[in-house]
Amino acid sequence: MSETYYTEHPFAQYVRILGKGKHGSRPLTKEEAYTAMKMIMAGKVEPVQLGAFMMLMRVKEETREELAGFIQAVRDSIQLPTETITVDLDWSSYAGKRRHLPWFLLSALLLAENGIKVFMHGTSGHTNGRIYTEDMLPYLNLQVATSIDEAIAQIKQHNFSYLPLKYFSPRLQEIIEFRPLMGLRSPVHTVGRMLNPLNAPHILQGIYHPNYRPVHQEAAMLLGFPHLAVFKGEGGEIERDPDSECLVQSVHGEQLEDEIWSPMFAQRHVKEENLQPEKLLAVWRGEVEDEFAQGAVTGTAAIALRLMGKASSVESASQQAKDMWQNRQEEKLI
């Protein structure tokens, strides 16, 4: 049972700032957002306060300053091991897929095969009817890491690892699991995507709602992340829809850039009626030809190559990714 308070709870001020009414409420400053999230991560708020705070944030939508403050507070709460590793690319996977298989997994593995160290993190199971990375990796004969130490070992071995959020920030995972109770996503879904726990210099972001693109972009700049690219990903994951035009908004230091990627095909493809996870490995091995899948894989990898400065243009990045795909080792994954 919650404790009874006869003086105002220290967290009440942050709920009041957001919920004081049409003319009295305002966004949190970066510092206020940091302190509020620090209290949340430390378990120093009551459940009713947390629910009210998250839903008030959900209704108004987080600003870049709020998002930066939240992310920094969670990053400061993560206990990293003494052993470190240089990771090239941070890749978050929090949305899950519903309409298509997670072809982005092959994109990440294609980059890993070509010497790029990819650290992937995410969650699973918070939304019905979606398939998640954690459940798909066994179909690719890959193990899910259960600690940061294990993730580092996997990256050293074959340039790729996927680590669920619950193993490095259980408190944030607990809050994400409130979604079925609230019926809505909360800011912590966005926070999780941008944690970059191993401090990779390059961060990829896939979002579903286009208005979140500049918020991610500008929050990354406030946090001092060196390089980030965000685009509307298929289903909200980091996966390019090859049938559609794609606006990629990036940050390089203090410079913001927008780049248009044209559709890869003249006609849209028909969505498959049944998603069969076994097809992921079959496509990699060349046992099944799938034009849409290949476009999603190479198109997503190309965005990563462009972000990392390994290609001087959209066209050269696209061709480089296609060459990687043609030269992949079909008999095995990483």
**pLDDT score recorded for residue 3:** 62
- DSSP run (H or E) holding 160: strand 160-164
DSSP codes joined into one string, 185-210: --HHHHHHHT--TT--SEEEEEESSG
**pLDDT score recorded for residue 209:** 84
Q: Is pLDDT above 70 for 79?
A: yes
Q: Is pLDDT above 90 for 289?
A: yes
Kindly report the pTM of this predicted structure. Answer: 0.94
Q: How far apart are CA 102 and CA 120, in angstroms?
A: 13
Q: How far apart are CA 279 and CA 131, in angstroms?
A: 14
Check if the beta carbon of residue 58 is closer than 8 Å to that of residue 126.
Answer: no
Q: Which of 84, 88, 127 is nearest to 108 (CA)?
A: 88
Average pLDDT over residues 295-300: 98
Residue 231 bridge partners (DSSP): 206
Structure confidence by residue, pLDDT tens digits, 188-233: 989 999 999 999 999 999 998 888 889 999 999 999 999 999 999 9
Domain segments of the chain: what residues? 12-77, 89-326
**pLDDT score recorded for residue 285:** 97
Q: Is pLDDT above 80 for 125?
A: no
Q: Which of 324, 116, 318, 89 is nearest to 205 (CA)?
A: 89
**Low-confidence winner among 55-59, 82-86, 117-121 (lowest mean pLDDT):** 82-86
Q: How far apart are CA 80 and CA 78, in angstroms?
A: 6
Q: How far apart are CA 19 and CA 299, in angstroms?
A: 43
Check if the beta carbon of residue 124 is closer than 8 Å to that of residue 133.
Answer: yes
Q: Is pLDDT above 70 for 5?
A: no
Q: At 292, is the pLDDT very low, low, confident or very high (cuts 50, 70, 90)?
A: very high
**pLDDT score recorded for residue 251:** 96
What would be the CATH architecture of the domain defined by 12-77?
A: Up-down Bundle (1.20)
Neighbours of 157 (CB within 10 A): 10
Whether domain 89-326 has CATH 3.40.1030.10: the reply is: yes
Mean pLDDT for the chain?
A: 93
Sheet holding 160-164, edge to edge: 160-164, 118-122, 89-93, 202-207, 227-232, 246-252, 255-261
DSSP 92: E
Neighbours of 229 (CB within 10 A): 26
Q: Is pLDDT above 90 for 184?
A: no
Q: At 1, is the pLDDT very low, low, confident or very high (cuts 50, 70, 90)?
A: very low
Average pLDDT over residues 26-47: 97
